[in-house]
Amino acid sequence: MNIPGQLILASGSEIRQTLLRNAGVPFEVIVGRIDEETVKDALVAEGATPRDIADALAEGKARKVSMKHPEAMVIGCDQTLSFKGRLLSKARDKEEARAQLQGMRGERHKLLSAAVIYENGEPKWRHVGEVRLEMKNFSDAYLDAYLDRNWDQIRHCVGSYMLEAEGVRLFSKIDGDYFTVLGLPLLPLLAYLSERRVIAS
């Protein structure tokens, strides 16, 4: 079934849906399922940067949904974490999360949030937002307690933190847009939707 003139978010992320809903943007959700790990591994093998990987994954999701709903405007999104120039993937378990957070403790890293819009099976707009974050030199005791309290909520989060929850206590400094931290470069996206008269301005 086509959804003519409809705006589709090709993401199952609750926080991205909440951000758009709170901004008063009408949209439908149709998750664009792609084999993220295979795509990511291939791009890493080719030497792609974390920024390029975020952009490619967002595009892949938008393209997949756009092929089935060509008349709709489809937003694909993805987020990557760059630590010392390399891609840091989601931790597979609590022990790996602990090791990752210990490695990033007292250091800076970047979050890259990509959004790509497809129409008629073709990319029409793209943006990759970047945020630089500096972690505190927190204790092992706090880290263990943090993981015990929050693991169920953060297990699917890159970096093993949610900045909108207790994860904010891990940081000493954040340079960049809050919405980008949450996984969506919302302000540039709203500007484009306004320019295209999808939303009023």
Helix (H) or strand (E) holding 135: strand 122-135
**Is residue 35 annotated as a catalytic residue, yes or no?**
no
Catalytic residue among 35, 52, 55, 78: 78
Q: Cα–Cα distances in Å, from 112 out to 72, 127, 163?
A: 26, 10, 14
First to last CA, the chain: 30
CA dist., res. 30 & res. 65, Å (int): 7
Pairing of strands 7-9, 28-29: parallel
CA dist., res. 26 & res. 41, Å (int): 35
Query: Where in the sequence numbering do the catalytic residues fall?
Result: 78
